Structure formats: C-alpha cells, structure tokens
Amino acid sequence: MDSRSLRKAELRRGSIARGCGVAPRRLRARARVRLSGLRAPSARISLLVALAACSSGGVEDRTPGDTPPPLAGTSAFVVTTDFQTGSFAVFPVLQPGAVAKNVERLHSDAVARVHGGLVYVVNRLGGDNVQALDPAAGYATRWQCSVDNGSNPHDIAFAAPDKAYVTRYERATLLIVDPTAGTDCARFVRGTIDLAALADGDGLPEMDQAVVIDGKLYVTLQRLDRRNFFRPSDRSTIAVIDVATDALVGAIDLTGTNPFTETAGLVPDPATGKLVVNEVGELGRLDDGGVERVDPAAMRAEGFFVTEQDLGGNVTDVVTIDDQHAYAILLDEAARSRVVRFDPAARRVTNTLAAGDEFLVDVALAPDRATLYLTDRTLKRPGVRRFAIADDAELAPSPIDTGLPPFDVVFVAGP
Ligand SMILES: [Ca+2]
Ligand SMILES: [Ca+2]
C-alpha cells in the first residue's frame, strides 16, 4: 500500500490543510486505506485529530443559484460538494445541457434518496438532519428536521407515508420518524430502536444502509472497531426489524465485512428481489471482500459471486444488469479508482470505462436501464459522465458540469 500517494492526493485537494474540509465518512474510508499500510503512530494520531475536529459545525449560509428547469420526464438530481460547501445540480436526462447548478446549499457531506415524488437529502455528520425537497416546487425545501447533533445519519428507508427509519452511524439507536410531520418538526421523531445488542465491542454497530421489503426493515451493520482505527471486527451483519412492531426479529451475517454501498442505498435487484451487497473488508487488502446477494425473505447471505481477487480491487459500488453484465467501481492498493464492466458468470473484468486518481464515488443505472451514470470527481474534468449499457461507449466527449464536483446521483420521475 502506497500511503504517500494517497496523502499527496489529499493534500492536493487541500483536505488536510483545511481540517474539516473532508467529509468525515470519506476521511474514515481513506483512513482505513491508509492506516492498514502505516506503521507510524503519529500519522494515526493526526488522523484521529482530524476526525475529532470534524465532528461539529454545519451552519451554512444560502446563496441563490440556478433555477431548475420545469419538471418534464426523468431528471437527474446530483449532490455536489467540494467537502467544504455542498449543493446540488439538476438536469433532464434527455436534455443534459439544461443543467441547473448550485441550486441550493446542502451540507458538504450528503446523500440523496427519492421516495414518493420527493427528494430526501440525508445531511450526514455535521449536518445531522434530513431535508425533504419538492421537485414539483422547483426543489424547494419542504422541511428539514434534526436527527440529533453529531448522530451522523446515513440513510432513510420508508415503511409508510408517515413512518420512516433513519440510520445513525454515531448512535446505537435507529430513529423512527414521521415524514408528514410538517415544517416545525415537532412530531418528526416517533421513537427509536435499540441495536446495541448487535454492536461490536465498542458498543456502536455502525449502522449504514437500510431498506424496507415486505414489512421488514433491513439495516446493514458494518460493526467496525473504533478502538482499532475503524477496522472491521469479527463480522458484519444485516439487522432485520418487523415494521409492524418495530421489534428486532433477526440478523443476517454477511460473508465478508464492511458493507460499503453508501451512495446507492440498499436496493433489491428487480429480477431476483435479492439485495446486492458489496463488502470491502479492509480497503488496504485486496483479498478479503467481494459482492454477494442476500435473500431477504430467506434471511440468507449467499456468498460472494465475485471477489476482490477476481476483479483486482475493492468493490466500492456495483450495478448489475444481468447474469453476464455488471459494473463496479474498484479501488486498488494505491487508492486509484476504476470503473469496470465485469462478467459475474465468468468472474472477470471485461472492460475499463474510466479511471482516476481521485475517488470515483458513485455509479448508477438510469431508470431507462440503458445508461450508466458516473460521478467523476477528478480535478481536471469533474462532472457527471454517462455510458451506454449496450456497448460501454461514453455518450458525450465532456462530462456534464455540475458546478461543484458531483458526489451522488439519483433520478426523479417527471409528472
Ligand atoms: Ca463499532
Ligand atoms: Ca478489501
């Protein structure tokens, strides 16, 4: 592991110098890469200082940006950030030139989910709230409610119009919320579910992604050890909760550790109904992870269908098309990212679509299932890139400029 090149990349972006400029979760991800290759205690200490220094803040003034075009057909909603300032860009998928940039401020560390015609922005550590945007009203904020300072929300999953669950990375309790509570947020928090019983030795289970399927809530628990630099503990698991009673009814132990599907969420494969989970283990090792399917109904992890060794990198995001056709973002030992096409049946890489020495964050399949979107944060040409699923060809010679560099992309259906 060449930790120096990683540090150089960070310094180039100014993240170390700026202290809190780095999204803490990202820093942690890099920390795991770096620490596994480092022997020097001082480096570990400075990293922990950086993490501690980033645990507060979050008030961001608003400056007006572009006005989004009228909603027509499917739009791409892109969370953007330079890790100091966050915002979003919007464009119709059929008219990517009509991009509205820097529309409103978001927290600098945020991901988006779409549900019931609204965009829910999960403003993570330092923001510590959920923000509902209404695409039909020019993406105006309908409400923005706290999930507790320093709790670091990571995902929101919906059970009913008035009931959703928010995972909190810095807490042992999952939050039950009412998305219909209104702008004053008075009735927003409905309760909590204690997952401490499933935590590793440090008492926090590192709850991450969540989804509701057939009356059950599934929550990935990374179970990283904070006393050992966020290294994976003995196992990672998926907590299963009955949404009628909010009782913890089981846990599905994963084949590997450290499930890492942060921007994509935990989405069932439309063909099989199974969850596709990528598990990176330690980012500094390329022999301890892979991608597996988890059968939610049978509560069973099916084992890696492709491994880090097969693909030559940690799989930090994955999109499956069919049995022979899938895409992944791979992160190698030198912290270089690549977007590859791979054949899950043959368990091998068949094409490389993009590469960069910056962290490529998110690949997402457009609703037409014909186009792959990539948030490319490379310094020279940041932007959203699109590739045809049919032949992997890039759809335009230049990335779509989103103002601030893109982080997470989701799709909003038109009226
Ligand atoms: Ca832990
Ligand atoms: Ca690994």
What is residue 9's three-state secondary structure? helix
Nearest ligand to the CA of 171 is 1
**Residue 367 pLDDT greater than 70, yes or no:** yes
pLDDT one-digit tens code per residue, 292-332: 999 999 999 999 999 999 999 999 999 999 999 999 999 99
Whether 63 maps to a domain, the answer reads: no
Global confidence as pTM: 0.86
Nearest ligand to the CA of 287 is 2
How many structural domains does the chain have? Answer: 1
Alpha helices (H) along 2-123? 3-13, 24-37, 41-53
Whether 65 maps to a domain, the answer reads: no
Q: Cα angle vertex 377, ends 341, 80, to 5°?
A: 115
- Residue type (1 letter), 281: G
What is residue 294's three-state secondary structure? strand
Ligand 1 centroid vs 2 CA: distance in angstroms?
27
Ligand 1 centroid vs 170 CA: distance in angstroms?
9
Give the pLDDT band (50/70/90) at residue 265.
Answer: confident
Whether 66 maps to a domain, the answer reads: no
**Residue 358 pLDDT greater than 90, yes or no:** no
Contact between residue 392 and residue 354 where contact means Cβ atoms under 8 Å apart: no
Tell me how far apart the alpha carbons of residues 127 and 56 are, in angstroms, rounded to a whole number: 8
> Positive or negative CA dihedral for 331, 336, 340, 345?
negative
Whether 119 maps to a domain, the answer reads: yes
- Residue type (1 letter), 14: G
Whether 98 maps to a domain, the answer reads: yes
Whether 67 maps to a domain, the answer reads: no
Q: Which residues contact 347 (CB under 8 A, 6 or more apart)?
A: 305, 306, 307, 310
113 closest CA partner among 124, 121, 103: 121
pLDDT value at position 15? Answer: 32
Domain range for 156: 3-58+72-412
Nearest ligand to the CA of 259 is 2
Whether 219 maps to a domain, the answer reads: yes
Share of the chain above pLDDT 70, in %: 84
Could you tell me the CATH number of the domain that includes residue 201? 2.130.10.10
pLDDT value at position 3? Answer: 32
Whether 225 maps to a domain, the answer reads: yes
- Dihedrals φ, ψ of 194, to 5°? -85, 120
List residues, by chain if needed, whose CB lies under 5 Å from ion ligand 1.
Answer: 200, 202, 204
Ligand 1 centroid vs 35 CA: distance in angstroms?
17
Ligand 2 centroid vs 205 CA: distance in angstroms?
20
Nearest ligand to the CA of 290 is 2
What is residue 357's three-state secondary structure? coil
- Please give the average per-residue pLDDT across 365-378, as a whole number: 94
